[in-house]
Amino acid sequence: MYAPFERRIDACQRRLRETGADVLVCFPSPNLTYLTGFEESPSERHLLLFVPEDGDPALLAPAMYDAQLAELPISGLKLHSWSDADHPLETAAAILERYSFESTKPVSVLLDDQMWATFTQDLRRLLPAGEFGLASTVLEPMRVRKDDVELRTLRRAGRIADRVSLRIRERGGDLAGTTEADLASEIDRLLAAEGGGEPAFETIVAAGSNGARPHHRSDSREIRAGDPIVLDFGAFVSTSLEGGTARYPGDQTRTVVVGGPPAEYVAVHETVREAQQAAVDAVEPGVTAGSIDGAARSVIEEAGYGDAFVHRTGHGVGLEVHEPPYIVAGNDRELEPGMVFSIEPGIYLEGEFGVRIEDLVTVTETGVERLNDSPRGWETGH
């Protein structure tokens, strides 16, 4: 039996006590999903989760969600619904009054990092003497280490991306004449056909000189023979967690060529491949995130392309496509088992082409596991 949400709320409360904070407040965001299994987009309506350092958590929500929220598998969670004719701040004030905050010090409140200013201002009015901080103080160390169910879901997302990568690569010369936008749409359809949900981000297809822009938006440019093509894509995969749900993304990049590659391309691609392998090889518990960036960057700098590697080596992946740990120079955070992040060095030659190779990896007890295993070479089918 997997009961993550009660364990997560218990752990959140322990961390609140350790940090001296009194209450944590979430609104519709990955933090709310992480703690409750309920996923919803933000709106102008008050939907707030209150987690005190001691006592039962409370959820203030519009009455339209009553049926969904009644199924949340969290014992002790107090539901407070309100209709459009009610004043939700009165209910929020009553919730806060029920918690026995220590009267000799200001109330310490940790707010969801993504909370809209409207709601932060409401809470400041309710607690004018409160001291406010960010929920990530408590939740980020919890979310950064994925549990077994999260890792299994991320592996599924990786396999889906691998299968789509192979299907695109096998088209070979047939890719010529296709526009970037049409190929991006095809990739999205294949991700769904292979078992993925919606794309985890806007699929990138960047051909020829467009590949020199790391976050190029696919357009009407037609793919031509000899074009290097940067392909960056992934899909969300859902997992059921005892009445709650959560989605985890794939994220993979390959750079392929239709036909014969341009001059210099093969050497550049090999440099990026070696840089990515060096970074993967450097991953193990206890090393710093910055050292992984350094392992990739040193290979590219030694080859003379240091100025053409214009972004960090990677980013954490979980409920969000971009989250800690960030694999960037100067980040002294030590890697821990269960962390998941991308390793995606690149070289971008303006007006010519770009090359990026990306896999997701997870830190194991003794080293590293790749979550992607599709071919990393540049060759396509015939």
Give the C-alpha separation, 344 to 313, whole Å: 5
The confidence score (pLDDT) of residue 381 equals 75
The confidence score (pLDDT) of residue 73 equals 74
CA angle at 372 for the pair 353 and 325, rounded to the nearest 5°: 85
Side-chain half-sphere exposure of 97, counting CA atoms within 13 A: 7
- Tracing tokens 């023979």 back to the chain, one arrives at 225
Return the closest-CA partner of residue 175 out of 164, 167, 183. 183
Residue ranges of the chain whose pLDDT lies below 70:
1-2, 102-104, 241-244, 382
Structure tokens at 237: 């995969």
Structure tokens at 105: 């010090």
The confidence score (pLDDT) of residue 307 equals 98
Give the C-alpha separation, 369 to 283, whole Å: 9
Phi then psi for 235, rounded to 5 degrees? -130, 150
- DSSP letter assigned to residue 135: T
pLDDT in tens, 151-205: 999 999 999 999 999 999 999 889 999 999 999 999 999 999 999 999 999 999 9
pLDDT in tens, 202-230: 999 999 999 999 999 999 999 999 999 99
- Structural domains in the chain? 4-142 (3.40.350.10), 148-370 (3.90.230.10)
The confidence score (pLDDT) of residue 102 equals 67
Pairing of strands 23-26, 323-327: unpaired
Instruction: Give me the helices (H) in the chain, please.
Output: 4-19, 30-36, 66-69, 88-98, 117-126, 136-143, 148-170, 180-193, 265-281, 289-302
Return the closest-CA partner of residue 354 out of 165, 214, 203, 204. 214
